[in-house]
């Protein structure tokens, strides 16, 4: 691992074969860049906007890299009020969109030339949202054409603690000159698709029903929530089938029925498309689908792998 700074912000660089990973792990455990060094030049697997603000209170909102979503993803609701949640005792607390980890400080536990393990350092905002005793760790394992990220959630409290975390990968797309979104396809082996309504409810989405492969210019793809996955692997890339990317959701060949993949982009001109593996759909604290509870003294994990094929 090589340490360097950008505008006095500590950064890290990991070079493994043809892959170079750049991170800002003390700020949101953020993976910034994944660059693949090819004979024809450098391919940016992940998008990162030029001139992005690395300030602790700004980096969480940067559209790039891989924001960590914890303890919950998406929008949460309590009594119809957005950005709140209720615990099992009925206590209502704030919860920003995608949780608070992407804005939090992390500290190193250990590192090597191919991995890093970090723990979240809760700030006042995090404690107001989630005032429990726990340790949330993020483990990255860097390989030449492969990155593995493991969430480790250790319950140090005396009651079961809910969580439903995920990733928000900003994949560069298109990544070939002269191609457009219509030249790339994504295969998602899903039986059910949903939309997240303005009141927090999950609404079945029929537009993509019956299909498992879509081009990235499909108007139904943005903001779609895919569940009931028949396979843990989501694969996307050019129609030629070369230079594909795979995202594995969890460690089992078939994920839990409510494990989710979310596809999102803000508009047709954005230089990225997000393919997001989540433990469950948004607002899990209210509808309970995909919500998991870590028992006292236990550590639960959620594993995601991204490979270049």
Q: What is the pLDDT of residues 38-95, one digit of tens each?
A: 988 899 999 999 989 888 888 999 999 999 999 999 999 998 899 999 998 999 999 9
Instruction: Say yes or no to pLDDT of 147 above 80.
Output: yes
How many residues can be counted in the chain?
309
CA-to-CA distance for 183 and 117, rounded, in angstroms?
37
Closest C-alpha to 148, from 108, 187, 115, 113: 115
Closest C-alpha to 26, from 43, 13, 9: 9
Q: What is the CATH number of the domain that holds 150?
A: 2.70.98.10
Instruction: Say yes or no to pLDDT of 206 above 90.
Output: no
Residue found under tokens 């090597």 = 112
Closest C-alpha to 262, from 303, 221, 302: 221
Instruction: Say yes or no to pLDDT of 210 above 80.
Output: no
Instruction: Say yes or no to pLDDT of 205 above 80.
Output: yes
pLDDT of residue 9: 92
Examine residue 254 and state whether it is found in any structural domain, yes or no: yes
pTM over 0.95: yes
pLDDT of residue 10: 95
Give the chain's domain count. Answer: 1
Examine residue 90 and state whether it is found in any structural domain, yes or no: yes
Instruction: Say yes or no to pLDDT of 209 above 90.
Output: no
Q: Each residue of 216-273: pLDDT tens digit? A: 999 999 999 999 999 999 999 999 888 999 999 999 999 999 999 999 999 999 999 9
Residue 100 pLDDT class (50, 70, 90 cuts): very high
Q: Each residue of 281-301: pLDDT tens digit? A: 999 999 999 999 999 999 999
pLDDT of residue 40: 84
Residue found under tokens 């210019």 = 217
Instruction: Say yes or no to pLDDT of 211 above 90.
Output: no
What helix, strand, coil percent values describe the chain, rounded to 5?
5, 50, 45
Examine residue 309 and state whether it is found in any structural domain, yes or no: no
Examine residue 202 and state whether it is found in any structural domain, yes or no: yes
Token pair of 288 as six digits: 């309970």
For the stretch 249-258, contacts whose Cβ atoms lie closer than 8 Å and that sit 24 or more positions apart, written own/partner, are 249/277, 249/304, 250/277, 250/302, 250/303, 250/304, 251/303, 254/229, 254/230, 255/229, 256/280, 256/290, 257/227, 257/228, 258/227, 258/228, 258/289, 258/290
Closest C-alpha to 163, from 40, 7, 299: 299
Closest C-alpha to 226, from 207, 243, 242: 207
Angle ∠(212,278,198) on CA atoms, nearest 5: 85
| Secondary structure element (H or E) that encloses residue 81, with its range | strand 81-82
Q: Each residue of 124-133: pLDDT tens digit? A: 999 999 999 9
| Secondary structure element (H or E) that encloses residue 129, with its range | helix 124-129
- Tell me which residue range forms the domain holding 154: 2-303
Classify 223 as helix, strand or coil: coil
pLDDT of residue 62: 95
Q: What percent of the chain has pLDDT over 70?
A: 100
Examine residue 57 and state whether it is found in any structural domain, yes or no: yes
Query: Residue 253 in contact with residue 266, Cβ under 8 Å?
Result: no
Examine residue 277 and state whether it is found in any structural domain, yes or no: yes
Cβ neighbourhood burial of 107 (10 Å; 0-12, 13-18, 19+):
exposed
Q: What percent of the chain has pLDDT over 90?
A: 91
Instruction: Say yes or no to pLDDT of 37 above 80.
Output: yes
Examine residue 184 and state whether it is found in any structural domain, yes or no: yes
Phi, psi values for residue 271, rounded to 5° = -85, 20
Examine residue 8 and state whether it is found in any structural domain, yes or no: yes
Please compute Rg for the chain using Cα positions: 19
């Amino acid at each position: 691992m090589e340490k360097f700074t950008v505008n006095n912000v500590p950064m890290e660089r990991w070079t493994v074969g043809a892959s170079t990973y750049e991170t800002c792990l003390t700020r949101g455990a953020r993976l910034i860049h994944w660059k693949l060094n090819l004979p024809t030049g450098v391919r940016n697997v992940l998008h990162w906007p030029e001139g992005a603000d690395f300030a602790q209170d700004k980096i969480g909102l940067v559209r790039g890299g891989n924001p960590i979503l914890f303890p919950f993803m998406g929008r949460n609701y309590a009594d119809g009020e957005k950005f709140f949640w209720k615990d099992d005792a009925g206590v209502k607390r704030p919860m920003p969109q995608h949780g608070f980890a992407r804005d939090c400080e992390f500290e190193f536990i250990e590192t090597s030339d191919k991995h890093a393990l970090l723990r979240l350092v809760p700030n006042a905002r995090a404690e107001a949202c989630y005032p429990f005793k726990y340790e949330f760790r993020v483990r990255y394992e860097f390989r030449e054409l492969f990155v593995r990220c493991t969430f480790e959630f250790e319950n140090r409290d005396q009651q079961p603690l809910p969580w439903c975390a995920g990733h928000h990968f900003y994949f560069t797309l298109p990544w070939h000159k002269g191609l457009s979104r219509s030249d790339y396809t994504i295969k998602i082996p899903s039986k059910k698709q949903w939309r997240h309504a303005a009141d927090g409810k999950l609404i079945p989405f029929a537009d993509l029903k019956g299909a498992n492969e879509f081009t990235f210019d499909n108007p139904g793809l943005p903001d779609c929530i895919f569940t009931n996955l028949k396979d843990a692997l989501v694969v996307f890339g050019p129609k030629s089938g070369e230079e594909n990317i795979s995202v594995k959701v969890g460690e089992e060949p078939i994920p839990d029925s409510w494990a989710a993949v979310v596809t999102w982009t803000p508009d047709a001109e954005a230089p990225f498309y997000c393919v997001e593996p989540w433990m469950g759909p948004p607002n899990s604290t209210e509808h309970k689908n995909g919500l998991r509870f870590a028992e006292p003294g236990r550590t639960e994990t959620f594993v995601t792998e991204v490979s270049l094929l």
